[in-house]
């Protein structure tokens, strides 16, 4: 028996033994993307674009890129606003579709940090992709600086430092996950209130050992992305904006080891804050070091880092090795871009004219930008800009070294203390969840009827229209792919998806993972 849904153009073949429930589930998936006409109180008719449980306002443009645009969207169940990146892959080159897009989808699904944009839902409808992510109401950093410039204002030093340290903390998170952004610039840094978030991961790539990129409970895996892209119509939920457990686990994961806030703060306490360097020394290449010595040790090449050869990003922010067309370490190249951003924050203008790349390359290598900032900016900030925009890749700072620099160190200490408080709160939350699990286990052991009753109880979110829609979509995927819902997993769901099957006994599952 064949069914043809004219609204979505989906044709699905079912055997005669398939029941009506599966037919309705497939119809639900077919209506994943639909246009609905409505008339307001004034009698004006308009057409709404509904994608999953979001309403996408195509006329509310937030930004535009090479192969797509970003529009405003609203979650119909709770009224929250999101940004929706809309792409038509038929209008994009094959190299982007086959190489860059899958990488972007996988990387975005792995990110969960206050200073990095977070993605919640992917929807694929034939050649159209819809990516729902955080909406940053204050626009991007470039527009913010342009508005300041038009009013004749410049950023104060403390404001520049506060914004830049947030950028570095986002970059630090990426680099520790072996991800390089490769397109860091003011246009790709969004502002949400007082928080800055790195965005636009179209050129991002993994730069560590591929074998360590294992699927974890906090994100979907590569196989999920590949299966999602292989479908004609599909939906994938990398994360849930209301998932507090995931936020707690990610905070605790960042609180462990030598890169935790407590460990870094302990090392900082042992470092004396250096006096400001003599401006005359800057021309000779000397700068204040974050480790307490004036001369930086040459860094040897890291053989485990995957090198890049592709030219990515904007010429004005590109490092000398990228402009020269050489093989480069993408993480070290990110650091140069950070230096350009800091220069712009402090000076309100670009360090180089990128009209002639060859001439710009010579100026980069000669550090001609120092002529424009000497005797204008504070000496420590000049020293940091020079250390970030160091032409030698073995002498250029890493993101960890940059955060420990004397110009950033005082405010970095404050940030670390705030993080420690968050980590302690997360640890307390984990203890509460474990106590709940322990109590639940005792009840189940003492009264077998409790566990039997729990097995037939609906999920806690069953009454929510948002989750009801997601549950329906999940069932459709399982019906089409032949994967049973009883397994608790499907190719389009991660452990932390918001589907009904994964939401049962939520506290017990979370405590076992932790």
Binding site, annotated residues for ATP: 85
Residue whose pair of structure tokens reads 């709160």 in the numeric block: 425
CB neighbour list of residue 307: distance below 8 Å, 6 or more residues apart: 327, 328, 329, 330
How far is the C-alpha of 422 from the C-alpha of 412, rounded, in Å? 15
Beta carbons within 8 Å of 66's beta carbon, 6+ residues apart: 202
What are the backbone angles phi and psi of residue 31, rounded to the nearest 5°? -90, 20
**CA distance linking residue 21 with residue 362, whole number of Å:** 68
> Which burial class, exposed, middle or buried, applies to 511 when counting CB atoms under 10 A from its CB (0-12, 13-18, 19+)?
buried
DSSP assignment of 443-501 equals HHHH-HHHHHHHHHSPPTTTT-HHHHHHHHHHHHHHHHHT--GGGS--TT--TT---HH
Tokens 């960890």, residue located: 400
Q: 3-class SS at 116?
A: strand
Residues 6 or more apart whose CB falls under 8 angstroms from that of 62 comprise: 70, 71, 72, 83, 135
Find all residues with CB under 8 Å of 337, minimum gap 6, and list them.
181, 184, 185, 313, 317, 318, 319
Q: In 31-152, which ranges are continuous DSSP H helix?
A: 94-95, 101-108, 141-150
Question: Could you tell me if 414 and 492 are in contact, meaning their C-beta atoms sit under 8 angstroms apart?
Answer: no
Which residues are annotated as part of the binding site? 85
25-49: b (≥16 Cβ within 10 Å) or e: bbbebbbbbeeeeeeeeeeeeeeeb
């Amino acid at each position: 028996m064949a069914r043809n849904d004219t609204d979505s153009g989906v044709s699905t073949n079912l055997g005669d033994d398939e029941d009506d429930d599966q037919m309705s589930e497939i119809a639900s998936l077919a209506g994943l993307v639909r246009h609905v006409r409505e008339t307001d109180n004034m009698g004006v008719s308009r057409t709404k674009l509904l994608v999953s449980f979001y309403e996408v306002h195509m006329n509310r443009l937030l930004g535009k890129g090479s192969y797509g645009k970003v529009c405003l969207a609203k979650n119909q169940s709770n009224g929250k606003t999101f940004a929706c990146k809309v792409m038509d892959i038929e209008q994009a080159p094959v190299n982007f579709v086959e190489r860059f897009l899958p990488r972007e989808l996988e990387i975005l699904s792995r990110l969960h940090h206050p200073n990095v944009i977070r993605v919640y839902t992917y929807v694929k409808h034939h050649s159209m992709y819809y990516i729902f992510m955080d909406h940053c109401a204050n626009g991007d950093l470039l527009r913010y600086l342009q508005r300041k410039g038009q009013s004749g204002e410049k950023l104060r030093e403390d404001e520049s430092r506060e914004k830049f340290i947030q950028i570095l903390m986002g970059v630090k998170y990426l680099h520790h996950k072996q991800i390089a952004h490769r397109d860091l610039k003011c246009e790709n840094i969004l502002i949400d209130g007082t928080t800055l978030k790195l965005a636009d991961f179209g050129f991002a790539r993994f730069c560590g050992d591929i074998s360590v990129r294992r699927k974890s409970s906090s994100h979907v895996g590569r196989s999920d992305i590949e299966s999602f892209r292989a479908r004609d119509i599909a939906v994938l939920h990398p994360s849930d904006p209301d998932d507090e457990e995931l936020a707690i686990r990610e905070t605790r994961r960042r609180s462990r080891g030598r890169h935790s806030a407590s460990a870094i703060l302990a090392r900082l306490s042992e470092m004396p804050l250096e006096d400001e360097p003599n401006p005359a020394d800057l021309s000779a290449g000397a700068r204040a070091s974050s480790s307490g010595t004036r001369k930086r040790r040459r860094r040897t090449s890291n053989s485990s880092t995957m090198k890049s050869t592709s030219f990515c990003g904007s010429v004005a922010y590109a490092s000398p090795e990228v402009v020269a067309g050489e093989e480069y370490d993408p993480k070290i190249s990110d650091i140069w871009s950070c230096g350009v951003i800091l220069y712009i924050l402090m000076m309100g203008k670009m360090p180089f004219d990128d009209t002639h790349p060859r001439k710009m390359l010579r100026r980069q290598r000669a550090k001609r930008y120092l002529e424009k900032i000497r005797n204008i900016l504070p000496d420590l900030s000049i020293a940091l800009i020079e250390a970030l925009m160091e032409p030698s890749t073995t002498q250029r700072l890493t993101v960890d070294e940059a955060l420990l620099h004397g110009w950033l160190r005082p405010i970095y200490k404050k940030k670390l203390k705030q993080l420690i408080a968050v980590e302690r709160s997360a640890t307390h939350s984990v203890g509460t969840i474990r106590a709940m699990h322990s109590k639940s286990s005792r009840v189940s052991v003492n009264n077998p009827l409790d566990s039997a009753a729990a097995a037939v109880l609906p999920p806690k979110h069953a009454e929510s229209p948002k989750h009801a829609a997601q549950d329906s979509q999940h069932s459709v995927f399982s019906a089409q792919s032949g994967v049973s819902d009883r397994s608790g997993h499907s190719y389009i769901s991660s452990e932390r998806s918001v589907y009904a099957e994964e939401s049962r006994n939520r506290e017990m599952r979370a405590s076992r993972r932790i």
